[in-house]
Chains A and B, each alone.
Chain A
Amino acid sequence: NAGVTQTPKFRILKIGQSMTLQCAQDMNHNYMYWYRQDPGMGLKLIYYSVGAGITDKGEVPNGYNVSRSTTEDFPLRLELAAPSQTSVYFCASSSLSSGRDNEQFFGPGTRLTVL
């Protein structure tokens, strides 16, 4: 299994541009999450999904949108990028049947800079 994969690894955006961060998992996990991590800080939850077609806001959802059309994919959309969205974005997944009581598996992250 590849686990949780994220693309791209790095991206530089100009203010006002839009982009989609891709996240996919091949573990048939029902839960998926998007976090952002600013330099020297912990992770903040942006959005999460408990299954295909179901999404909900986390702590810091403003400026982002998500969709979950399949179990495997959970893309994060940035509209009108702002410098405050410069961060490292992590995608994660988990399953109630993982045997570890909802252990989260994380992807390698996408480093985004908005100039």
Chain B
Amino acid sequence: DAKTTQPTSMDCAEGRAANLPCNHSTISGNEYVYWYRQIHSQGPQYIIHGLKNNETNEMASLIITEDRKSSTLILPHATLRDTAVYYCIVRVGHNTNAGKSTFGDGTTLTVKP
């Protein structure tokens, strides 16, 4: 599985959009981009994923560049409860080798009042 690079930390003002970048320059054609977050010491929580097209759900939007070498997770109106560590990972979606994936150290997002 391709590895990812994320900034160590970011701050965001409450109510503003939080834009979290991720580089995955060695991504393969059959690998999806997944985003998870981990609040305090809880288990990570799925946010969103995509292959080529931009995606949006009730939690966030995912923008993937045309060459698929990077992506951005957007939290449109960040709240204090969005303070967490955000992980960007790439992995195969539909494959028996989908077991292996690497969680890097993630980005610690701090939403400030």
> Which A residues are closer than 8 A to B by beta carbons?
4, 31, 33, 35, 41-45, 48-50, 56, 58-59, 88, 90, 92, 94, 96, 100-109, 111
Contact = CB atoms under 8 A, between A and B. Distances in A.
A45 B104 contact: no
Contacts of A33: 99
Interface centre among B42, B93, B99, B103 (most CB of A within 10 A): B99
A45 B101 contact: yes
Q: Could you say which interface size class chain B belongs to? A: 20 to 34
A46 to B, nearest CB: 11
A45 B102 contact: yes
The majority secondary structure among interface residues of chain B is loop
B105 A42 contact: yes
A115 to B, nearest CB: 20
Contacts of B96: 50
Contacts of A58: 99-100
Interface stretch (B21-29, B44-52, B73-81): B44-52
Nearest to B44: A106
Nearest to A40: B105
Contacts of A31: 98-99
B87 A42 contact: yes
A8 B98 CA distance: 28
A58 to B, nearest CB: 6
Nearest to A57: B100
Contacts of B104: 42
20 contacts: A4-B43, A35-B103, A41-B105, A43-B87, A48-B100, A49-B99, A56-B100, A58-B100, A94-B98, A96-B94, A101-B32, A101-B49, A102-B91, A102-B92, A102-B98, A103-B49, A105-B46, A106-B43, A106-B45, A108-B42
